[in-house]
Amino acid sequence: MGRENQFCAELFAKLHPWVDHDQGNRVMSDEGAGRETAIPDLELWLKGAQRPLRIEVKIARGPTNTVVLQKLQVFCWSVHGPYRPDLWIMARNTFEPRRFFLLTARQFQPLLWEARECLQAQQVQGGTDVMRGTKAINLGGVPITEAELWGRFWLHVAHKGYFSGGP
């Protein structure tokens, strides 16, 4: 299992007590080719929620904190697609010390639009192999600690009304 899948499984394990297991939750269900739309790594119904919380999980690499998205993800999520992530949670590639990024859909949207414009420009110029189906996005910024990650996560969840119960 790769680091991204390990991190996704770790996040799911930490959220497990708050998940409504009677709903149609998805965990890493977009791992195969042949899909017409991109689905976030986690689609979880929290207890009492009116809709699922969709989370895309990535590993950030290098000094510019670069994440790699599939071309399908860029094109599906740069518009208001049916499975657009609500949150993007990224872990730095180096796990000691653990550092993270948490971006809302609104915060990540400009990065998606920039990536989409870049891919479209490459296609117009006749590029048949548009980065082999992927696009690197530089997050920049300063990563946060795990405590800050969960504090911001639960603040977002409470603010958006995804959660109304305890474990």
Q: What is the mean pLDDT of residues 40-56?
A: 91
Whether pLDDT at 45 is above 90: yes
Please report how many Cα atoms fall inside a 13 Å half-sphere around the Cα of residue 159, on the Cβ side.
Answer: 8
What are residue 134's phi and psi, to 5 degrees? -130, 165
Domain locations in the chain?
A: 3-160
Name which of 85, 90, 91, 77 is nearest 55 in CA terms: 85
pLDDT digits (tens, 9 = 90+) for 77-128: 877 677 889 999 999 887 667 899 999 988 888 888 888 888 877 766 665 5
Architecture of the structural domain at 3-160? 3-Layer(aba) Sandwich (3.40)
pLDDT digits (tens, 9 = 90+) for 138-159: 887 888 999 999 999 999 998 8
Distance (Å, rounded) from C-alpha 144 to C-alpha 28?
24
pLDDT digits (tens, 9 = 90+) for 118-141: 887 776 666 554 445 678 888 878
